[in-house]
Structure 1
Amino acid sequence: MSHDHAETADCSETLHRIFEYLDGEMTPDETARVALHLANCGPCLAQHDLDLAMKALIKRSCNQETAPDRLRATILSSFTSVRTVSSDGDQVVYREQTQYRIED
């Protein structure tokens, strides 16, 4: 199900990053690559539509629910951001971890 177009994402990339796309967390170039792929790939578009509907259902169903403070802190403390910087063709990966703590 993969396409060989340099300007478009392949199926694997698209499906792996679909929630980043749906949440608007991609760069404009990445967004354009995925959008172009979705416009030309029925199976990936179907998965996109399913994920979009699922997100809407969860938002509607859980709109008035809030997570307990301890759960939110646990989830937030597990986040790790990874930033890739290219300098003279070399890839340098920086890893950052943010810790959150809720006092008893």
Structure 2
Amino acid sequence: MSCGNHHETPCVEVLARVYTYIDGELATADCASIQHHLEECGPCLREFGIEEEVKVLVKRSCTDPAPAALRSKVLTRIQQIQVTMVETER
């Protein structure tokens, strides 16, 4: 998506990081850059609004905790991936 205007931060980069931005997980400088882009770019601002609404709906709708067995499987898999990544980097 692009509004056709040149921005310091390209639309594709903003949209790829929108959930990280919504979650407040970006560095201050990155947040400021994305906020500035959203202030200037209508299409990205609309997409951001849609993604923000989806996040709110999911949070409101998904209040049941995950079963313990599922949680255990997910955590085990994350650990396996981390070990594989460390071994690959060596």
TM over 0.5, shorter chain: yes
> Higher relative contact order by CA 8 Å / sep ≥ 6: 1 or 2?
2
d(CA) in 2 for partners of 1:53, 1:15: 15
What is the aligned-residue RMSD (CA, Å)? 2.4
Poorly superposed stretches of 4+, deviation over 4 Å = none
- Compare 54-63 and 16-25 and name the one that shifted more: 54-63
Tell me the equivalent position of 1:45: 45
Question: Normalised by the size of structure 1, how large is the TM-score?
Answer: 0.65
Aligned partner letter, 1:97: Q
Please tell me whether the aligned partners of residues 38 and 44 of structure 1 are also in contact (alpha carbons under 8 angstroms).
yes
Q: CA deviation at 1:18?
A: 0.4
- Indicate whether 1:11 and 2:11 are aligned: yes
Question: Could you list the per-position Cα deviations for residues 44-83 of structure 1 after superposition, in whole angstroms to 9, with x for gaps in the alignment?
Answer: 11111001111111111112x011123223334337xxxx
1:49-88 alignment runs, 5 A limit: 49-63=49-63, 65-76=64-75, 77-78=77-78
Percent identity, aligned pairs only, is 37
Question: Normalised by the size of structure 2, how large is the TM-score?
Answer: 0.74
d(CA) in 2 for partners of 1:25, 1:39: 20
Question: Could you list the per-position Cα deviations for residues 18-48 of structure 1 after superposition, in whole angstroms to 9, with x for gaps in the alignment?
Answer: 0000000000000011101111111111111
Number of matched pairs: 80
Which structure's residues are more often strand, by fraction? 1
Q: CA deviation at 1:9?
A: 1.7
Q: CA deviation at 1:11?
A: 0.4
